[in-house]
Amino acid sequence: MKTLRGALAVFVVVPFLSACGEGGLEGKSVSGFSADADGWLISGDANAASVKPDYNGTGGNPDGLISAKDEVTGGVWYFVAPQKYLGNNGSVAGKNLRFDLKVDATPTNPFDDIDVKLEGGGVTLVFNTENNPVGDKWTSYVVPLKASAGWKVTTLSGVAATDADMTTALGATTALWIRGEFNTGADTGYLDNVRWGASN
């Protein structure tokens, strides 16, 4: 009976760890950056010629974070999700993408742009959050993974996404980008606690 109880304990604990992911964060795929950059990259005019973000084991919300510094050469730079966020994501439809953002200072020349970009199945969906991060403090975001939440097709001025568009993009996801630049001048953007498919 002692052996049986030990086996049952393992059976109960393992699913819990799988569901919670890194550092107890809940979602299908998570990045708490407690040990490294977790495969994330950057796209656009940041960190000079490197496609890898900077990693810091402290300063996150809490623990580690990733960041990149704008090179002010034009364009907008983004954090780019690794492979574990891609592929068949049909199971996260109707759930949420959650993440925390910070900038190094209040933007002196802030601008609005696509905050989240989701691509898959030949469809590009974009989302604009209600507010941008300001000052040297963390801002938490919840982006519902359903068309009616305000997703648009291709551009922020494009047509409203449909449920069919969202199903297509999630069914064969090829890219997930989160904006890291919010100022027309130099700034540094920070990302932490990404939860893909969080239930709340």
Residue 24's pLDDT is what?
A: 67
**Range with the poorest average pLDDT among 71-75, 77-81, 144-148, 169-173:** 71-75
pLDDT at 34 over 60: yes
Would you say 25 and 32 are in contact if contact means Cβ atoms under 8 Å apart?
yes
> What is the set of domains in the chain, with CATH numbers?
28-198 (2.60.120.430)
Residue 185's pLDDT is what?
A: 86
Q: β-strands 173-179, 116-120: how paired?
A: antiparallel
Q: What DSSP designation does 84 have?
A: G
Determine if residue 73 is left, alpha or beta; phi over 0 gives left, psi from -120 to 50 gives alpha, anything else beta: alpha
pLDDT at 30 over 50: yes
What are the C-alpha distances in Å from 60 to residues 42, 56, 74, 99, 191? 18, 8, 28, 12, 8
Residue 19's pLDDT is what?
A: 41
pLDDT tens-place string over residues 127-151: 999 999 988 899 999 999 999 999 9
45 confidence band (pLDDT: 50, 70, 90)? confident
Q: How far apart are CA 55 and CA 43, in angstroms?
A: 16
**Range with the poorest average pLDDT among 1-5, 33-37, 61-65, 68-72:** 1-5
Mean pLDDT computed over every residue of the chain: 88
